Amino acid sequence: MNSAKTSIVTDPKPIIVALDFPSAAPAFALAERLDPARCRLKVGKELFTRLGPACVEHLQRSGFEVFLDLKFHDIPNTVAAACAAAADLGVWMLNVHVSGGRAMLEAARAALAGYAQPPLLIGVTVLTSLASSDLAEIGCPDEPEARVLALARLARDAGLDGVVCSPREAAKLRAELGREFTLITPGVRPLDSTADDQRRTLTPAEALAAGADYLVIGRPITRAPDPLLALAAIERSITHCLES
């Protein structure tokens, strides 16, 4: 596979807006300004810890599919139970840390086997805030790309649907793991945006061209004066990457 070729994106709405807010009011106010036909929403640790399942249920009632970004990482039995609880909520996607190991990953996969429409089960490889020096500090001498690839292979072998990776690793993973393996990329920033605390970034069009299936985008949309207008601008920038 030629990783330089623009990827064919089969999902017409590849953008996942990150609702990284400390309370319900701003999160729900933003959701009201967005269109569930054009994006999905990500609920992370802060919002879920404050509001619990009611947050997910509220967004689903508004028509949104939800990526529950809790990055489960624990003993296999605990992670399996957590994944089943998330599936009971009807979330579209959930994630676990691949570094939890094969037994944990396989337990998570097995926990979802009985659902008629299970959520996508995605593995977190290396956080996009981490650089080589950060990995060395925690005893991982590999460069981020090598570490991501090793963890992505493990996720695939354990039966996961895909992984979270930085857009800079997407081309390598797509070439190595094939078209059917789902790649979700945070660390995506339009040309006119700051990197904030992300280290390994690309623009939305670059990330899709590298092989990403879904783009997790937060502050460039959530902090924009008009979030729907910001979403529309990103949609225009990736039009050539979308399957006609």
218 carries a ligand binding annotation: yes
Q: Of 137-146, 202-211, 216-225, 235-244, which gets the smallest average pLDDT? A: 235-244
Nearest-10 crossing angle of helices 24-33, 53-61: 20
70 carries a ligand binding annotation: yes
192 carries a ligand binding annotation: no
How does pLDDT run across 196-230, given as a tens digit for each residue?
A: 444 446 899 999 999 999 999 999 999 999 999 99
Give the residue numbers marked as catalytic.
Answer: 69, 71, 74
Does residue 6 carry a pLDDT above 60? Answer: no
Mean pLDDT of 3-17: 69
69 carries a ligand binding annotation: yes
76 carries a ligand binding annotation: yes
Query: How sure is the predictor about 111, in pLDDT bands with cuts at 50, 70 and 90?
Result: very high
Give the residue among 200, 193, 152, 196 at the shortest CA–CA distance from 172. 152
For the entire predicted model, the pTM comes to: 0.89
How does pLDDT run across 153-171, given as a tens digit for each residue?
A: 999 999 999 999 888 889 9
189 carries a ligand binding annotation: yes
State the chain's mean pLDDT as an integer. 90
pLDDT for res 192 = 57
Q: Of 3-12, 82-91, 158-167, which gets the smallest average pLDDT? A: 3-12
Please report the domains of the chain, with CATH numbers, ordered by start residue.
15-237 (3.20.20.70)
77 carries a ligand binding annotation: yes
pLDDT for res 198 = 43
Does residue 59 carry a pLDDT above 80? Answer: yes
Does residue 76 carry a pLDDT above 60? Answer: yes
Does residue 3 carry a pLDDT above 90? Answer: no
Mean pLDDT of 85-105: 98
